[in-house]
Amino acid sequence: MAILIYYITIPFIYLLSLLPFPVLYLFSDFLYVILYRVLGYRKKVVLSNLRNSFPNKTEKEIQLICKQYYHYLCDLFLETFKTLTISKTNMLKHCYFNPASLDILNKLASENKNIILVLGHLGNWEWAGNTFSLLCKHQLYVIYHPISNVHFDKLMYKMRTRFGTKLIQMKQAYKDMLQNKHTLNTTAFIADQTPSAQNAYWTQFLNQETPVFKGTEVIAKKLNYTVVYAFVKKVKRGYYEIFVDVLCANPNETKEGEISEMHTRKLEEDIIKQPQNWLWSHKRWKHKKPINL
């Protein structure tokens, strides 16, 4: 059944990818009506997350962010498929580095420093990876979880590696990073996923007790790689600008939890700037902090 669904949908996916941007976004507007108005996809989750994260906002403001979020989600979904056929020139036109941020990465490359790049599900992180691989001297590796449907997993793998990015499975991240440490590289960690409650670093994030993956910090300290935070800012529909900040040049000199706290605070700050462009339909707060922590 899985392979049948794949072969039925793949021509449609490629057709979407070939659409000019104005037509693609017209289709996105239609998809928004279906997803938000008709199906109400995870609407309760989105509204609950928004209300808990922004207790000082009015219900009218919450509802507006919710609507804007679904427009963003539909755009993001179709923009991801666009990666299948978009040219390098168009990719760099629609997702580009802030010049000062690109200078930071070039300087780290000239110093032969490997990087752990930390970012969240904010803006278009898929396009940001493409742009990094096209413009930066570091080889980019992205930590990922394979999709259960092997056929769609191969499709996503193809999209994510099309411009030179390489992928590392989460379960073997540290092993692969050790093997790669003698070559100039950057490994990207999406830091706002939900870890198990017992093995997480717990902190306040968007007004809620939130678990944060320890892996980013633990690996950074073991390898002493420069930790860089990235913000993919939406400039306007279909256009994103990437900003980076060096969070920590010497991770092995930091205290426990310090790096986790730094990148969590940066992400929170950027979500507040553009709340409609974060992945609110994700069940980020499904775990409660254990009493013994």
Whether 77 and 220 have beta carbons less than 8 Å apart is answered as no
pTM: 0.94
For residue 214, being part of any structural domain is answered with yes
**pLDDT the model gives residue 292:** 67
Spatial distance between the Cα atoms of 86 and 81, rounded to a whole number of angstroms: 9
For residue 282, being part of any structural domain is answered with: no
Q: What is the mean predicted confidence (pLDDT) over 215-224?
A: 96
Give me the mean pLDDT over the 82-108 stretch.
98
The domain tally of the chain equals 1
Q: What is the mean pLDDT of the chain?
A: 95
- Whether 64 maps to a domain, the answer reads yes
Q: Domain range holding 156?
A: 2-277
89 inside domain: yes
Mapped onto helix, strand or coil, the DSSP state of residue 224 is coil
Residue 292 lies in a domain: no
Using an 8 Å Cβ cutoff, are 203 and 210 in contact?
A: yes
Note the pLDDT tens digit of each residue in 228-270: 999 999 999 999 999 999 999 999 999 999 999 999 999 999 9
Place 117 in a pLDDT band, splitting at 50, 70 and 90: very high
For the stretch 145-165, pLDDT in tens is 888 888 888 889 999 999 999
Separation of alpha carbons 118 and 190, rounded Å: 6
Does 165 reside within a domain?
yes
Is 139 contained in some domain?
A: yes
The whole-number pLDDT of residue 1 equals: 67
Query: At a CB cut-off of 8 Å and minimum separation 6, what does 214 contact?
Result: 195, 199, 200, 201, 260
Does residue 291 fall inside a structural domain?
no
